[in-house]
Amino acid sequence: MIKNKLFWDKWNKNHIKKHQVTVKEVEEAYKNKIFEIGSYLGRKIIFGKTKNNRLLTIVISFAKQQEPYVVSARDTSKKERKVIYEKTKTNKTI
């Protein structure tokens, strides 16, 4: 289940800035999730779209807090875009 409020601190704000992504874009993409997959250490990988149709890959963790903590956020890679296309093509409910 996705919670609406993301947990931000100085570290993750600076980290996403290195990927030229803003907090606002991450929050938009998080709310406009296309789909999610599980990852190691109980993390989730969220694929979402901003209002400007920018596709982002967001890695979140629930390890130390209840709110989703943004570990990383970046533009979705070509390989990931292919996965998104295949998922949405085969399952229209995603």
Find how far residue 36's CA is from the centre of its chain. 8
Query: Percent helix, strand, coil in the chain (nearest 5)?
Result: 35, 30, 35
CA pair distance 42, 28, nearest whole angstrom: 23
CA pair distance 66, 52, nearest whole angstrom: 29
Mean pLDDT for the chain overall: 88
Task: Answer whether residue 94 shows pLDDT above 60.
Answer: no
pLDDT in tens, 50-90: 999 999 999 999 888 888 999 999 999 999 998 888 777 76
The torsion region of residue 76 among left (phi > 0), alpha (psi -120 to 50) and beta comes to: beta
User: pLDDT at position 41, please?
Assistant: 87
Q: Which of helix, strand or coil describes residue 44? A: strand
Residue 8 CB neighbours (<10 A): 15
pLDDT over 90 percentage in the chain: 65
Q: Are 34 and 84 in contact (CB under 8 A)?
A: yes
